[in-house]
Amino acid sequence: MEAAVPVETYMSPRRSVAFIGSECYPFVKTGGLGDVMYALPKALVKQNCDVKVILPRYKCIPWEYQQKMIYRGSFTMDLCADGRSYYVGIMEYVWDGVVYDFIDNEEFFSSGNPYTNLIDDIPKYCYFAKAALAALNYMDWIPNIIHCHDWQAALVPVYLRTQFVNTKLTTAKTILTIHNLRFQGIYNIPTIRYWSGLPDYVFNKDALKTGYQDANMLKGGLAYSNIITTVSQTYAGEIQSAYYGETLDAHLRYHSGKLRGIVNGIDYDIWNPSTDARLYANYDITNVLDKKKENKRRLQEELGLVQDDHKFVIGLISRLTDQKGLDLVNAILPQVMDEHTQIVVLGTGDGVYEDSFRYYENAYKGNVCSNIMYDETRAHRIYAGADALLVPSRFEPCGLTQLIAMHYGTVPIVRETGGLKDTVEPYNMYFNTGNGFTFDRYDSGLLLDAINRAKTFYFENRWCWDEMVQRDMDKNLSWENSAKQYKDLYLDLTW
């Protein structure tokens, strides 16, 4: 009889956590926030946490989930400054040990997309922030921690410290996580004051007020939360500077004592080369060198590239925008192309980049393939079939592509910013350490140099390159590490 595999259990004290955010895979997802809202609670359950995720019940949530939701109750809630009140329904769905509570209100959540425009979104997320707290109160579920995400949930800490101060919820500590600092929920003060029903004193320059006549919902949440986190340590430092701070740098410097950076993980149930059904050939650290060659050959064949084991294949999977450093790529691509190199691009975005990559595909037929689309299967196959992955971002709060690439044995070439700097250790030729190639200043010449260093290393020092591939695959990039750091933070806050 085979011995049972021991399952690691975490004996640290139990904590209850309410996650409040505007999207969560698989119900609704527009970006990385949806992935985090799904994967982090799932990982925290394994860390001895009791987790409830609170989301809006948008019309666009697929029917397969809607039909399994169970009605948990409803009530009427005062919202607006003139006493106008609204229905709040609670629909529940339990999956993978996580309880999902959906706030139900036809008036606010009946449009097709979660985000429409600020005129509609400001009232919608004022309502959602207050209704999420009111629902916890109604269910008498009092968490140790209320963990809020981005501007759509940023009024939760403000409500908690004002209108909910005499409820049981007042014992909860709040954390606000910044996933995208560019979006802040800014609108004129009278509108936000009316829809939130918040007292006048929160609309001051230290909390919600910004400029002469506007209120900034994210800024208010940062002021009122107990802890602020963002998705990498380097980015936590960067956003305190004018260049990265999106006009909130001074406010973030003021609150720097409660600002932390915790890097995201990747979901090994989805991203795992040994079980990934989308790949041509599955592999793990023991057979990566052979199987990667097979994946590369099949990728070249599928994309109409010259089939040659000895080509250095560079992948680029990205939104095609300035933020992703594509102006640098554009500037140097002709210098990168030689008889040893192939480039595979996947993504959509600004017309200028879509057109330029189409042009390069035409100019370097058989060695450049530009897939101007998003195709999940093709993304998985590029991660497995490419030798290196390019991420030259202007700024990158966390970045997942470099983590996925490393897990698939594909060496990242990245700019040292945000999460890229925190997760990719530059190769050191003297000690044969590191897991990628990096450059610091935002400069096309430095990007070209990083690519050339990677290429030279690949062709002239293949044994050490192969070691790096295995080192990357050996790294634990799962959510387990990040969840442990969040759990430690929860314990520190509530000890």
Rounded to whole angstroms, the Cα distance separating 401 from 135 reads: 36
- Confidence check: pLDDT of 3 > 80: no
Q: Which pLDDT score is estimated for 12?
A: 83
Look at the block and give the residue holding tokens 């919902």: 217
Rounded to whole angstroms, the Cα distance separating 435 from 472 reads: 6
Rounded to whole angstroms, the Cα distance separating 403 from 95 reads: 26
Q: Which pLDDT score is estimated for 7?
A: 44
Q: 87: Cβ–Cβ under 8 A, 6 or more apart, which residues? A: 74, 76, 104, 105
- Confidence check: pLDDT of 125 > 50: yes
- Confidence check: pLDDT of 8 > 70: no
How many C-beta neighbours within 10 Å does residue 32 have?
Answer: 17
The reply to whether the predicted model has a pTM over 0.85 is yes
Query: How far, in whole angstroms, is CA 357 from its chain's centroid?
Result: 26
Q: Which pLDDT score is estimated for 377?
A: 96
- Confidence check: pLDDT of 174 > 90: yes
Per-residue pLDDT of 149-162, as tens digits, reads: 999 999 999 999 99
Per-residue pLDDT of 213-238, as tens digits, reads: 999 999 999 999 999 999 999 999 99
Domains of the chain and CATH, by start = 15-265+480-494 (3.40.50.2000), 288-476 (3.40.50.2000)
Query: pLDDT tier at 10 (50, 70, 90 boundaries)?
Result: low
Q: Indicate the DSSP class of residue 47.
A: T
- Confidence check: pLDDT of 4 > 50: no
Query: How much of the chain, in percent, has pLDDT values that exceed 70?
Result: 98
Per-residue pLDDT of 320-364, as tens digits, reads: 999 999 999 999 999 999 999 999 999 999 999 999 999 999 999
Average pLDDT over residues 28-34: 89
Q: Which pLDDT score is estimated for 210?
A: 97
Residue 412, preceding bond cis, omega within 30 degrees? no
Per-residue pLDDT of 307-322, as tens digits, reads: 999 999 999 999 999 9
Q: Do 129 and 154 form a contact (C-beta atoms < 8 A)?
A: yes
Q: Which pLDDT score is estimated for 489?
A: 97
Per-residue pLDDT of 105-116, as tens digits, reads: 999 999 878 999
Q: Got the DSSP string for 405-452? A: HHHTT-EEEEESSHHHHHH-PBPBTTTTB-SBEEE-SS-HHHHHHHHH
- Confidence check: pLDDT of 120 > 50: yes
- Confidence check: pLDDT of 131 > 70: yes
- Confidence check: pLDDT of 6 > 80: no
